[in-house]
Structure 1
Amino acid sequence: MAVTGRARPRRDLVMQGSPAWPEISAVLSDGAVSVEVLPVDPAAGERCLRRIGATADSWLGAMALHTGGALVDNGWLRVYGGGCPQRRMPDLASANPDPEAAGHLLVGADVLGGRYVIRGRDPEPTESTVDSVVLPGQPGEICYLGPDTLRWEPLSWAYRDWLSLLVGGAIVDFYHDLRWPGWEAEVSAVPPDRLLSLYPPVYTKEGRARLADSEREAVGADELYGLLDELTAERAARA
């Protein structure tokens, strides 16, 4: 999935097939953890839908069209949709400024800087793609970059599986080793365009052992993403 350069007609995007939103809405409403669905301006939702080239009958497209995004489990997970400026939630299109070059689509992130992307097809080996990240797994699957492992890992989930499972409670076990006492109140106060930077960092043994008394600071998402990307590339180069 990638943002397309040519917008598809509105009717093709919004009216194609059976809308996925009723099913998604039920999943979000019946979640095992807290889920806050953010509002979206209808025009902004349609604009985002066109830019990512999805349709309303897909789960990804329905999230873009009908929501400004979702904050899952006290905001630990941020699921991108059509954007909600009043809550500082990015939309799917702005979260992926150059997906054609990256080859993958960022669909969500956790408060520690871990990222979830839909794996795209591997780019052709040209000069312009020499630095592109080639992810594990198969096209269409969700891959996750762990802030503690500095490694991209295939989850073997499609987008709908990813959203359903994490909202359904899998998020608790998934992040069990990265949470500290009282994290709920602290994380819920962090806006969606900011992340928590921990010291010692969670990608060190000391950082994982000292989560409860680590120094935690809210920083810009791009700042922490840049650091994690650099460290991930360095780790991969040493492997």
Structure 2
Amino acid sequence: MSAPTVLLADDHGAIRAGLRIMLESHGIRVVGEAADGDVAVRNAAALRPDVVLMDLRMPGRDGVSATREIVEQGLSDVLVLTSFDEDELVFGAIRAGAAGFLLKTVDASSLVAAVRAVAAGEGALDPRVTRRALAAAAQGVGSPPDIATPALPELTSREQEVLDGILQGWSNAQLAQRLGISVPTVKTHVSSVLAKLGARSRSHAAALVRDGDRRRP
């Protein structure tokens, strides 16, 4: 597999420089940068990177709005870099279709692994961020009032097993090993689960399931 390409979106030049060094020293190609959400969308459309590494708090257009447009247009997958004080923004980014979430304190090896995972079509969720985000979802924090959570659809037994694995944060390879099926078959089931849930990403699917469980009588 060729080296993934990345667009860095953060309003702090020093942070972008540090991320570039970490990624390029591990064979990841940084093809562009952006200091705000509008530039991130434009550069994603022009450069078509495998992954946009997205800050959520930027001047002008924020990372949530930029993530939504990038995902809806199919320009790239989005991997969010977040801080612990951004619960509402994280929840918004889940609904916008972000494929993963990392803390800004992430080390180089974890960052590279997450970028490669997202570029390969998998999720990348820091457990600390996931717990906070799902807890926020369960409490309705940051839930847009004009977006109704759909009733959970009927899944096949295999799709339910795959969904259970997604909720555990398992990768496609882990799901294949645990379920005794091939990775391409796992990808097919994951796509089916996301389609039935109306989810844009694994993290969005997890939020919908948690919210659906909370709404059940």
Q: Do the structures match in fold with TM over 0.5?
A: no
Output the TM-score relative to the length of structure 2. Answer: 0.35
Larger radius of gyration: 1
Task: Write 1 or 2 for the structure with the bigger share of helix.
Answer: 2
Output the TM-score relative to the length of structure 1. Answer: 0.33
Task: Write 1 or 2 for the structure with the bigger share of strand.
Answer: 1
